[in-house]
Amino acid sequence: MKRRLIFFDIDGTLLDHQKKLPDSTIQAVQSLKKLGHEVAIATGRAPYAFKEIRETLGIDSFVSLNGQYVVYQGKVIYKNPIDPAIIQSLTEFSIQKNNPILYVGEEAMKMNVVQHDRVDASYIPHQMDLPGYDPEYYLDREIFQCIVFCTQEEEPDYLLKFDQPLKFVRWDEVATDILPQGGSKAAGISKFIEYAGANREEVVAFGDHLNDIEMLQFVGHGVAMGNALEAVKRIARYTTKDVGQNGIMYGLQKLGLI
């Protein structure tokens, strides 16, 4: 069997609908490693936010922050922070629009407001911890991703002003990720496979949401979870079962990887 490089998204892919790692997924990853495959994570989360998952699965390679922070076997090989001047301008514009903004670094993420209904509405249903408050968190440190809590109707105003330097990827009705233009999981994976000497056509990736689309299109074997958005399923080469129905195990078996 050929040795493969396999990337897994986290939320809705590795983690089920209760934000837990299914036993079948843990077993599947262990089987992959025993067979000599290389396993990595590709997520929108910051490194600190999935440390426990990496430790449970024994994974030390990952593409995080939607491709802006890449680690290969414990070594940081690529970082792509947002220009501080652009963050300053984005912050001022968000304040004018009365939209909260969140700053994400490698060690933490902070909001520029103490509390806001839109933040609660997007984070609580996803069972994510609410960020802390620090309106100056973006000063004097690298910020790899921002989140602006704006609606789809409000987003065109941001695109008009920041479309050139920034990229917007919506993940909730009132929240959109903001990356450096050209940033994506696919771009991070490109840096990863270049460093690792892997063949892109033989790389496998599993995902379920909008920020996984470019990744699944980029690799040779893109797999959509059964619970993935229809837009994701349409572009994926394969579709496996729902994450809650042993979707990872099933997909890997269908691909003949375990």
CATH of residue 217: 3.40.50.1000
- Cα torsion 69, 72, 73, 74 to 10°: value is -30
- Tell me, what's the pLDDT at 63? 98
Backbone dihedral angles phi then psi of residue 85, each to the nearest 5 degrees? -65, -35
CATH assignment of the domain containing 155: 3.30.1240.10
The SS3 assignment for 235 reads helix
DSSP letter for each residue of 174-202: TEEEEEETT-SHHHHHHHHHHHHT--GGG
Tell me, yes or no, whether 33 and 152 share the same domain: no
Tell me, yes or no, whether 38 and 151 share the same domain: no
Choosing from 9, 11, 208, 212, which is the catalytic residue?
9
- Tell me, what's the pLDDT at 1? 64
Tell me, yes or no, whether 57 and 95 share the same domain: no
**Structure tokens, 126:** 């996803």
Torsion sign across C-alpha atoms 188, 189, 191, 192 = positive
Torsion sign across C-alpha atoms 238, 235, 209, 89 = positive
Q: Taking the CB of residue 222, how many other CB atoms lie within 10 A of it?
A: 24
Residue range of the domain that includes 143: 84-180
In the listed set 180, 202, 219, which residue is the last one of a domain according to the structure?
Answer: 180
Give the C-alpha distances (Å, rounded to integers) separating 219 from 23, 46, 136, 172: 26, 22, 38, 25
Tell me, yes or no, whether 173 and 240 share the same domain: no
Tell me, yes or no, whether 116 and 150 share the same domain: yes
Digits of tens for pLDDT over the chain (258 positions)? 689 999 999 999 999 999 999 999 999 999 999 999 999 999 999 999 999 999 999 999 999 999 999 999 999 999 999 999 999 999 999 999 999 999 999 999 999 999 999 999 988 887 778 899 999 999 989 999 999 999 999 999 999 999 889 999 888 899 999 999 999 999 999 999 999 999 999 999 999 999 999 999 999 999 999 999 999 999 999 999 999 999 999 999 999 999
Q: Taking the CB of residue 239, how many other CB atoms lie within 10 A of it?
A: 17
**Structure tokens, 57:** 């699965």
Buried b (16+ CB within 10 A) or exposed e, 115-144: ebebbeebbeeeeeeebeeeeebbeeeebb
Tell me, yes or no, whether 151 and 170 share the same domain: yes
117 has catalytic annotation: no
Tell me, yes or no, whether 142 and 188 share the same domain: no
Q: Which of 239, 242, 183 is nearest to 42 (CA)?
A: 183
In the listed set 131, 146, 180, which residue is the last one of a domain according to the structure?
Answer: 180
Q: Is the pTM of this model over 0.95?
A: no
**Residue 202: alpha-carbon gap to chain centroid:** 21
